[in-house]
Structures are given as C-alpha cells and as structure tokens.
Amino acid sequence: MVSELIRLSWEDFNEPLESDGTEMENFLNDLDNYPHAFVLGSIMDKQIQADRAWAIPYKVYKELGNFDIDFLSNVPLEKYKELFNKGSYHRFNDKCATEFYEGVHKIKEDYGGDASKIWSGKPTSKTIVNRFLEFKGVGPKIATMATNILIREYKIKVSDFEAIDVSVDSQVEKVMPRLGLVSQNPTKEEIIIKAREMNPEYPGIIDRTLWKVGREYCHNTNPDCDNCPLKNECDYYLKPQKGETEDKFNKLIKLGEMHDKGLLSDEEFASLKQELLAEDTTTKTND
C-alpha cells in the first residue's frame, strides 16, 4: 500500500541540494563557514512561513555586516530586539529575538562557537535531535525537522535514522488522511506513530515527498489527482467520496485497469468495487 510513497521518498532523499543561487541561499547553505546560520534559522522556523523564518539569519547578517559567532555573541539582546521589531522579522519579534540571542550564546558556550559540532563525528540521529532540543524555543517538531534537513539536504553522516520522526505540518496533515494512511481528523501522535510503523528505520523520510505532493497536486479543493504520483495508492482517488458527482462507471473502469495491471489484489478490487456499487444502491434507495 505505501510502497510507492516510500520509493519516491528515497528518490527524493538521493536528490542533490536544491538552490536558487541567490546570495541568501549561498549564505544559508554555507555550513562550513556559517553552521550557526542553519541552527538559528531552524530555531526561527515556527508560526510563520518557512521562507520568512529561514531568511532571518541572513537579514541579521546584512544589518550587522558580520556573522562571525564571536561578533554575534557581543551583540546585546536589546539590539537583536530592535532589529527584529524594526524589520518585522517574525510574528513574535521579542520572543524570537531572545531565542536568537540565547542560541548564539549556547553555540558559543557549549560548542566553542562551532555549531557543526552538533552533528559532526557521525552521531546517532537521536543525539542530534536531543542537541537541538536543548536550545530555547526548539520542540520535537523543529528538532526532527532540522536533523532531517541536515541528513537529507546536506548529506550529514549519521549512524542511523531511527529518531527522525515525520514533521507534522499542514501538508502532511492533509495528504496522509487522503491517502488513507490515518483517520480523517488525525492527531499529530497518530501521524507520527503511523510513519514509524510504515518505515521504522527512517520514519521522517516521507516528509519531503508529502510536502511536495501537498503543494503541487493535493490542493485543498480540486486536487490534481490525475497527475499525482501517489494516485495509485490513494484512497481519495480510488474510493468514492461522499457527495461527489464523479461518474461511478469511470471509477469502476479505473479500478478494473488497476486490477489488470496488478496494482490491486483480487481482494482489494472486489472490496473497492463492492463499495462503489453499495454507494450507488444507497443513493438509489434514498431517492
């Protein structure tokens, strides 16, 4: 049932880092010289659009003209608050300016100013997640997301992937129920547990694929199912929806084609077909 999702996720995992080549992107991707920009960007990534959050370290850099950790650690908290409020960096400027300031000092004090020590030396994924969790303003979602990005995008070496849970965002919450992997109104815990069950060695591998499918195909209304790479294992696409007007006959043909191609077992085909026909009967009875 989930084989295509996992296969696509590994395909996405093996893709090289995407970059639009702008000065900001180059700055954020420069883990050799500015690993703390990645950590501070992660800390900011909450309750606003991700692009806006990740731009904050770059904006600070441009305002101050320097992003060396020694320099940053000499900037007073009030100055950070002033920058955040003046540039409206975040929805919660004072709070996030404080977390930025404290993040800088934690990197300086706990890691000797070198944030790459958080992930260097091929640690376990759990070690990296726990190190992120020690930063003020970082919860499990940010910690696992940051670890996942380091591994997937920056190819940081780790000894395992087990502690990297799926980061539950609005795309994941939309696509997983439609695929039929979780209930229609799932809790975050239900989604996390399902992802662990699907791929215990790396639960969070599905993050990026679900995000891409959610953005490009699985729109809130009128999802572009015909072009979606997950349509052949999607309940929403394969099963009749309550109140939908789509022609049941076409759906039956589609199910038959899938059965012929071996994408549905005899039992799955029979069960789905029965559901379609039962819905017709119910409708007629109600009429």
Of 194, 221, 222, give the one whose Cα is nearest residue 210: 194
What is the residue whose two structure tokens read 């070496």?
157
Q: Which of 106, 108, 231, 251 binds ligand SF4 (CB under 6 A)?
A: 231
Residue with smaller CB distance to ligand SF4, 87 or 229: 229
Say whether residue 223 binds ligand SF4 (CB under 6 A). Answer: yes
Scanning 75-83, 215-223, 242-250, 269-277 for contacts with ligand SF4 by CB under 6 A, the matching segment is 215-223
Q: Are 188 and 168 in contact (CB under 8 A)?
A: yes
Rounded distance, CA 179 to CA 231, Å? 8
- The owner of tokens 């990197």 is 107
Task: For the segment 95-124, give every residue that binds ligand SF4 (CB under 6 A).
Answer: none
Q: How far is CA 190 from CA 78, 79, 143, 196, 203, in A?
A: 41, 42, 19, 10, 13
Instruction: Pick from 36, 108, 131, 178 the residue near ligand SF4 by CB under 6 A.
Output: 178
Stretch that binds ligand SF4, among 34-42, 63-71, 122-130, 210-218 (CB under 6 A): 210-218
- Least distance in angstroms from the C-beta of 235 to ligand SF4: 8
8 A C-beta contact, residue 164 and residue 125: yes
Determine contact, residues 64/56, Cβ cutoff 8 Å: no
135-143, 148-156, 199-207, 232-240 -> range binding ligand SF4 (CB under 6 A): 232-240
Assess 236 for contact with ligand SF4 (CB under 6 A): yes
Q: Least distance (Å) from ligand SF4 to the CB of residue 143?
A: 27
C-beta neighbour count of 184 within 10 angstroms = 7
Do the Cβ atoms of 54 and 20 come closer than 8 Å?
A: no
* 27-35, 112-120, 148-156, 219-227 -> range binding ligand SF4 (CB under 6 A): 219-227
Residue 61, both tokens: 């850099």
Q: Does 218 bind ligand SF4 (CB under 6 A)?
A: yes
**Site of interaction with ligand SF4 (CB under 6 A):** 175, 178-179, 213, 217-218, 223-225, 228, 230-231, 234, 236-237
